[in-house]
Chain A
Amino acid sequence: MKTEINPITGGANMARRSFLRYAGASAAAVAVMGAAASCSKNDRVIVTPGGGADIGSGDPGILNYAYALEQLEAAFYLQVIATPYSGISTIETSYLTDIRDHEVVHRDFFKAALGSKAITALTPDFSKIDFSSRAQVLGAAKAFEDLGVQAYDGAGYLIKDAGYLTIAGKIVSVEARHAALISNLISPGTFVPADQVNSDGLNKSASIAEVLAQANTYLKTKVSAVNYNYKP
């Protein structure tokens, strides 16, 4: 068992049993506990100061990184479908519902695959997005999809296991399909936009630090990656 450190006052790692003991003793910790409510008995939850989550290291770290992004995307599209923007068309509803379903599958897949190694459930913060506005919703969707593609492409080389790399590959192409679709919905014919695809025909890729800095602007639960030189 790791050193037991109060998640409120500091420390990067903490075993769940001690974590729960502290959580029960502190009202401030209840919010942290709520975010981790889905954990099973043997979970090893990594808790960072302020109630954030750290992706950890190694292949589970990269899978947790993906899990964090999929949580964000799933939460976004769940909201999009729950409160559709004004003037949404039938085909747009169909596409956005499909994408919601795919992102939820990605999220739940990572949670199941990671098991006890999964980071906590993240609380999103979409206060900057007006969900009644088509332009804002599709603009945010483009940002999330483009970010997802850049994240998978940029972190692929960090994966050691061929099976995990293949799974990341299986997901990133679906994210790229989404990204192209959303861009085409915003403006037909922009499926390989210049802000994402360079003159060599390569999609942009981004580092973990670059991606999490963006993702954290939409998260109440901040995600860190101390092993990859990133703290919020």
Chain B
Amino acid sequence: MNLFNIISEIEKVDPEIHERLNPRRAAIKNITSFGSKVAVAAMPFALGTLFKKAYGQATSTVVDVLNFALTLEHLEAGFYNKGATTSGLIPSADSAYIGFVTRDENAHVKFLQGAITASGGTPVGPATFDFTGGNNKGNGPFPTVFSSYATFLAVAQVFEDTGVRAYKGQAPNLIGNQDILTAALSIHAVEARHASAIRKLRHDLGHDTNIKPYIVSTATLGNDTGVAAANNNYKGEENVTQGGVNLVSALKVSVGVATASFDEPLSKEDVTALLVGSFIVSN
């Protein structure tokens, strides 16, 4: 089964899946109070046991979210690991800078594997990747991804910004899970730090003199990277209405300021459509 489709598959047979995750349920409230009494070191195991008892089948959804995140982290870690071992790609002046990102993505893989195992799930392994975006043909929109540093950083930026959107989109599925939601938000913040850093590097190297550390969209185009092949990765970033407040009309600010002030989420289905069959090889 395609792991990306698990939630929608569950929804088909169990329309109440979201209700089962409702934080008002006593069983879920109890996790929080119990968790606060458990030593931090024992938390992953205790949580896993509790999920199995208290959530029942909803455990599968939590694991599914974590495996979805792990799939993305495998993609990012694989990408940076390949970049780091490709001779002549990353200038020595930037090796430490990129190295921090590489380090974090590998740490995320390890952390998520541990969290999934502790929750009673089985961590997914890395998919087969084609970092040109060519679905294993090696001739996607980014054929020079490991021969041109500029292309490498452009792809890095798209991965980071997309990762931020993917984590954001999953947060509501973790409501009621203090530890897992907080961890997911904490990874989300680090992905955003990476995105900011890659964007600034691209600016400082002159690869894109207009790029900012944040996503500055126009009214009609979310993508501010100048990489047209990534337009769909930024689709929706042009949104200027938040919680019913149209920032442009109500607060009298520009579209650029309004869009840069809020990052937009992506659903699992959207992320899957963006990555599977291009960067993540599908059979």
Contacts and interface: CB of A to CB of B under 8 A. Distances in A.
A102 B200 contact: no
A106 B253 CA distance: 12
Contacts of B251: 105, 108-109, 112
Given A192-B100, A200-B107, A203-B190, A181 B261 contact: no
Interface string A165-204: 1110111111111111100100011011000010111111
Contacts of B213: 95, 177-178, 180-181
Nearest to B103: A201
A210 interface: no
B188 to A, nearest CB: 6
A98 interface: yes
B196 A180 contact: yes
B197 to A, nearest CB: 4
A149 interface: yes
A150 B181 CA distance: 13
A130 interface: no
Contacts of B110: 200
Nearest to A167: B243
B121 to A, nearest CB: 18
Interface string A87-111: 0000000010010011011101100
A106 B213 CA distance: 17
A184 B23 CA distance: 39
B171 A166 contact: yes
Best-surrounded residue of B111, B185, B213 (most CB of chain A within 10 A): B185
Contacts of B214: 98, 102, 174, 177-178
B245 interface: yes
Chain A contact surface mostly: helix
Given A157-B178, A189-B97, A201-B111, A106 B261 contact: yes
Given A166-B168, A166-B171, A177 B190 contact: no
Contacts of B178: 157
A159 B96 CA distance: 38
Contacts, number: 187
Given A105-B251, A109-B247, A166-B171, A98 B260 contact: yes
Nearest to B23: A160
Given A170-B263, A191-B197, A199-B107, A165 B189 contact: no
Contact of A157 (B97, B164, B177): B177
A152 interface: yes
Interface in B54-113: 96-97, 100-101, 103-108, 110-111
A201 B263 contact: no
Nearest to A177: B196
A124 interface: no
B29 to A, nearest CB: 11
Interface residues of B, number: 60
B175 interface: yes
Contact of B261 (A113, A174, A189, A191): A174
A109 B181 contact: no
Nearest to A176: B192
A163 B243 contact: yes
A13 interface: no
Contacts of B268: none
A106 B32 CA distance: 30
A200 B245 contact: no
Nearest to A162: B172
B188 A204 contact: no
26 contacts: A101-B257, A101-B260, A102-B257, A104-B253, A109-B251, A152-B185, A153-B185, A156-B171, A165-B175, A171-B261, A174-B192, A174-B263, A176-B189, A176-B192, A177-B196, A179-B196, A180-B194, A181-B196, A184-B197, A184-B200, A189-B96, A191-B196, A192-B100, A192-B101, A201-B105, A201-B107
Interface of A: 95, 98, 101-102, 104-106, 108-109, 112-113, 149, 152-154, 156-157, 159-160, 162-167, 169-181, 184, 188-189, 191-192, 197, 199-205
Cβ-closest 8 pairs across A and B: A201-B107, A176-B192, A162-B172, A180-B196, A173-B192, A203-B189, A177-B196, A180-B193
Given A95-B213, A98-B260, A191-B194, 16 more contacts: A98-B214, A105-B261, A153-B182, A157-B32, A165-B172, A169-B188, A171-B261, A172-B189, A173-B168, A173-B195, A177-B263, A179-B196, A192-B101, A201-B104, A202-B183, A203-B193
